[in-house]
Structure formats: structure tokens, C-alpha cells
Amino acid sequence: MVETRSSYLFTEEEKLQIVEDHINNGISIRACATKYNVSSTSLVYWLRSYRELGVEGLKSQIGKHRGPNKGRPKGTFKP
């Protein structure tokens, strides 16, 4: 079992470096994940995001709203 960084957040630049290393050098996902001490699941997620959205897909999504229906519903309360 590979020990990964449990609470470390990779920067956008670090994610880009890891993704490009995998794509440009033909390193397998498992080998690349081991090399950079990141989980294979995270790397697959970053690759998918990078392919769909480019560098923008590697930006942190923490604190961003993910849909139009967030928060308290609008309207009046009718008991």
C-alpha cells in the first residue's frame, strides 16, 4: 500500500506538472501516482478534468457553488 498525503492540497501548478508528466512521458497512472505521492483516484480525476476543461479544470473547487439551487429557497412560508 502506498502512503499518500492525507491532508495536503496540491496547487494548480503541481497538478499540471503531474498531469503533463503522465501525458508527455507515457508514465502509467500508478507509476506517476507513486512518483508524486498522490492517490491514483485523484490523478484520474485530474486527468479527466484537464482533458475536459484544460488548466481551468485543475483549479481548486473548494468553496465554489456547484448548482443554481443552493441556499435557502425563495418564497414565503405557508403553514
Nearest to 47, CA basis, from 32, 62, 37 = 32
For residues 45 and 43, give the distance between their C-alpha atoms in angstroms, rounded to a whole number.
Answer: 5
Residue 1 covered by a domain:
no
Q: How many CA within 13 A on the CB side of residue 1?
A: 3
**pLDDT, tens only, 19-54:** 999 999 999 999 999 999 999 999 999 999 999 999
Residue 5 belongs to some domain of the structure: no
Instruction: Note whether residue 3 is domain-resident.
Output: no
Range of the domain at 47: 12-55
Instruction: Give the chain's domain count.
Output: 1
pTM confidence score? 0.69
Tell me whether residue 37 is in a domain: yes
Smallest Cα–Cα separation from 29: which of 46, 13, 12?
Answer: 46
Residue 79 lies in a domain: no
Tens of pLDDT, residues 1-13 = 445 555 678 999 9
